[in-house]
Structure 1
Amino acid sequence: MKLRHLEVFWAVMSTGSVSDAARLLHVSVPAVSRVLGHLEVQLGFPLFDRIKGRLYPTEESKRLFKSVDDIYGRIRDIDRLAQDLLQRRKGLLSIVASNSIGHELVPIALAKLRLRFPDLHVRFVLLGHEALRDCILEGHADLGISTLPMEHPQLTTRLIARSELMCICPWSHPLAQASAVSAQELAQHLNIGYVPKTPMAQRLASFFDQHGSALQTTIEVGTPHSACALVQAGAGVALVEQFSLQSWPRAAFRVIPLEGATPILADLIYLRGAPLSRPADVFVEYLTEVLDIRALIPNAPKLSMQMLLD
């Protein structure tokens, strides 16, 4: 089975017809038919039932396509990687980040970087945990910032930031008068939670389990930013982390420290043995400065979050 056979078979299966496959491959219809027929002869069984001029994949064809599609997925990955390598030679910095730290803090550092390197091409994407890891491992990103632990033998991690869980509520809510809130107090009022299996849902479940309190919410959201928007609109009480609160400097809600919560740590992630480029190093310097100003670097003294927002 030659690569040309795979290419034609994949095109026919993907488009559903020989004519559409020919257009996709920029070749003639007879050329596609000829390669397809040769492939079937070589395999020793038909790949399609031909009924009234139309092709219908056989069961063997469907099973074969799963493997061929996987191969083409890898080929597309190689093509993207080659394009990325070419762009890096021309001056490309590709950064991926977790949603919470990426919404506000990373863009500030990137804006400063662009002033320093005006000709630099920057690619910045927010990703979930597994996608972020894979993007770095496959060479599509130079640097990642993750708020979830990431252990892999091919990756280097470096602690860069620390965030605390905070309670937010409308100023009219009874909790707004508290200087700090415990799990037991919060369990009576918390009505905004997170969709199951999201990082914040797991953090909240762990926090309330550790303190022996039951968590019951009536609203579920996907991100802390959605939770902030709901609290801003007066929909109730939520727990969010300080990284996300950086996007709400003029928020009309009360921010209250949470007692007994485990800090949320953010790491720089990059390929082991692959030194960072000069622009990447400068970006890390700028990001560290931003985090320092916001009192979000590791071992920074705890400040009142309300002081930061005022």
Structure 2
Amino acid sequence: MRLNLRQLEVFRAIMITGSISGAARLLSVSQPAISRLLAYTEDRLELRLFERVRGRIQPTPEARRLFTEVDQVHQGVLRVNELAEELRERGTGSVRIVASPSVGQTMVPDAIARLRQRFPDLRVEFEILTLLEVIAKITSARADLGVSVLPVDEPTIQSQVMTEGRLMAIMPRDHPLARLRVVRPADIAPYPLIGFGPQTPYGYIVEQALASSPEPIKVSTVVRFTPVACAMVRAGAGVAVVDEFVLRGRTWPELVSRPLAPITRVRAHLLTLRYEPLSRTARAFVDILRDLVPPPPPEGGEPADSIPTDLT
């Protein structure tokens, strides 16, 4: 048997109120109607959802597991209704954007600000997530598009390179490395490094970029996101290697950045569902983002110099 939306609604109401009477009040129907539908549902499912204990109902383990999925369906229905309301009242709807931390620091917010100037009534949902979370949001259509500094190999996702940069070494202004024009892995070895963990995709990139150092490089602190690494460097906890996208703007005026040599290129990728067209507002966001960043260089060319090595 397949559950219909009414049965899911009644089941959820019982779960969140804890009683047949509470569900009846929540849904503005009679208690007998709730009881009959519940009994019918359990009978057709051949599954006991609630135990009757001293006149009260207690959800079974099966009901608790089912509730997790049912609640997600309920949230999806709410989002559909919200979108329909927005489309009726404003005609512009909403756009849902997800991004990895580096590009989510300034690049994506700058584009969103310009998008909102063009569509003042537009509702924008923006989240900064890990790569796996970004992929999950897009493949499940819970986000319209994503921007990531890490490549994605997923058959349902189309990935386009938006712009290209490089890895940079960052340090406080009074740090000895700030006197160098270019920082090599061997230069970093004497100092504590804020790292990302070799088990993560970003950590692997940084680890490979520093592998040529003849001296071991000590990772003193492990963080998850590049903005956190920048904050740790600002606090004096060490130096770090991050992509230049997180350094855009004047978010970190206390820091100095120097190009890491040899050059390690990083790219910002636009991620969309391969077989789903973008909405008008999502396409507008992509156009704005392309205008804000330099295009990637031809294959084999030098990465664009989009930021100075002195962050101020």
Q: Who is 2:104 aligned against?
A: 102
1: CA distance between counterparts of 2:221 and 2:68? 40
Shift, 1:278, TM fit:
4.5
Q: Who is 1:178 aligned against?
A: 180
In structure 2, relative to structure 1, the CA distance for the partners of 1:174 and 1:279 (3 Å cut) is same
Deviations 1:86-138 (A, max 9, x none): 64672133332222112211222232333334444433333332332233333
Does the Cα contact within 8 Å between 2:191 and 2:218 map onto a contact in 1?
Answer: no
What letter is aligned with 1:91?
Answer: T
Q: Which SS does the other structure have where 1:189 is aligned?
A: coil
Shift, 1:244, TM fit:
0.8
2: CA distance between counterparts of 1:240 and 1:152? 25
2: CA distance between counterparts of 1:226 and 1:211? 24
Does the Cα contact within 8 Å between 2:188 and 2:217 map onto a contact in 1?
Answer: no
Shift, 1:159, TM fit:
0.8
Q: Who is 1:159 aligned against?
A: 161
1: CA distance between counterparts of 2:230 and 2:117? 31
2: CA distance between counterparts of 1:208 and 1:250? 23
In structure 2, relative to structure 1, the CA distance for the partners of 1:266 and 1:303 (3 Å cut) is closer
2: CA distance between counterparts of 1:174 and 1:204? 21
- The correspondence of residues 74-113 of structure 1 with structure 2, limited to 5 A, is 74=73, 76-77=75-76, 80-81=79-80, 83-84=82-83, 87=86, 90-92=91-93, 93-113=95-115
Aligned residues: 304
Q: Aligned match of 2:22 in 13, 20, 23?
A: 20
In structure 2, relative to structure 1, the CA distance for the partners of 1:103 and 1:26 (3 Å cut) is farther
2: CA distance between counterparts of 1:67 and 1:211? 53
In structure 2, relative to structure 1, the CA distance for the partners of 1:51 and 1:79 (3 Å cut) is closer
Deviations 1:187-233 (A, max 9, x none): 33133223675543333334345667644323232322122222223
Deviations 1:250-303 (A, max 9, x none): 6222212111353121111223344444444443333223212xxx74456554
User: Which has the higher mean CA deviation after the structures are superposed, 102-111 or 23-32?
Assistant: 23-32
Q: Who is 1:73 aligned against?
A: 72
In structure 2, relative to structure 1, the CA distance for the partners of 1:118 and 1:50 (3 Å cut) is closer
In structure 2, relative to structure 1, the CA distance for the partners of 1:5 and 1:224 (3 Å cut) is closer
Q: Who is 2:189 aligned against?
A: 187
In structure 2, relative to structure 1, the CA distance for the partners of 1:178 and 1:274 (3 Å cut) is same
In structure 2, relative to structure 1, the CA distance for the partners of 1:234 and 1:259 (3 Å cut) is same
Higher helix share: 1
What letter is aligned with 2:11?
Answer: F
What letter is aligned with 2:176?
Answer: P
Q: Who is 2:10 aligned against?
A: 8
Structure 1: which 5+ residue stretches go unaligned?
none
Q: Who is 2:140 aligned against?
A: 138
Does the Cα contact within 8 Å between 1:100 and 1:243 map onto a contact in 2?
Answer: yes
Q: Could you state the TM-score of these two structures normalised by the residue count of structure 1?
A: 0.80
In structure 2, relative to structure 1, the CA distance for the partners of 1:234 and 1:211 (3 Å cut) is closer
Q: Who is 2:232 aligned against?
A: 230
- The answer to whether residue 260 in structure 2 is matched with residue 258 in structure 1 is yes
What letter is aligned with 1:204?
Answer: V
- The answer to whether residue 58 in structure 2 is matched with residue 56 in structure 1 is yes
1: CA distance between counterparts of 2:42 and 2:276? 46
Does the Cα contact within 8 Å between 1:110 and 1:283 map onto a contact in 2?
Answer: yes
What letter is aligned with 1:144?
Answer: G
Does the Cα contact within 8 Å between 2:185 and 2:211 map onto a contact in 1?
Answer: no
Q: Which SS does the other structure have where 1:286 is aligned?
A: helix
In structure 2, relative to structure 1, the CA distance for the partners of 1:207 and 1:225 (3 Å cut) is same
Structure 2: which 5+ residue stretches go unaligned?
none
What letter is aligned with 2:260?
Answer: L
2: CA distance between counterparts of 1:143 and 1:152? 14
Deviations 1:136-195 (A, max 9, x none): 333343332122212333332211011211111123322222222222332331332236
Q: Which SS does the other structure have where 1:218 is aligned?
A: strand
2: CA distance between counterparts of 1:263 and 1:155? 22
Q: Who is 1:147 aligned against?
A: 149
